[in-house]
Amino acid sequence: MIPRNLKYTERHEWAQKEGNEILIGITDCAQDELGDITYVELPQKGDKISQGKEFATVESVKAASDIYAPVSGEVIKVNETLADEPGKINESPYEEGWLIRVRISEPAELDGLLDADAYKKLIEEN
């Protein structure tokens, strides 16, 4: 299932706009491909992230994978639950398994992300 209220990247990150803040995570498709997630390395509150640049690393039983920022901004909150329970990403990638909350610096970047239909088409083609 692909939530319709989110925007997506071709690298399987999602972004949810909430005012001038963006909640960011990885998609159900991404967590499924990774397998059981065992470790997550996230940025610190106050760090700046840039669209298209690596901001986190997720390790699973299969591989380590870099996570790329769907938008630019300042990290205002980190999902600290994931330090002890990285499997939340597997269980609930769109709710409890979110990664970071960002104060967006370039709102127009959201316009360049995929909507749910375009993301579904991307997955089906791969």
Q: Give the count of alpha carbons within 13 A of 40, CB side only.
A: 28
Q: Is 90 exceeded by the pLDDT of residue 126?
A: no
Amino acid letter, 26? I
pLDDT for 36-59, tens place per residue? Answer: 999 999 999 999 999 999 999 999
Q: Phi/psi zone of residue 40: left (φ > 0), alpha (ψ -120 to 50 degrees), beta? A: beta
List helix spans (H) across the chain.
Answer: 28-34, 81-84, 88-91, 116-125
Asked if the 7-125 domain carries CATH number 2.40.50.100, the reply is: yes
- Per-residue pLDDT tens over the stretch 79-92: 999 999 999 999 99
Neighbours of 5 (CB within 10 A): 10
Structure-token match 């690298």, residue found: 11
Asked if pLDDT for residue 114 goes beyond 90, the answer is: yes
Q: Write down the domain spans for the chain.
A: 7-125
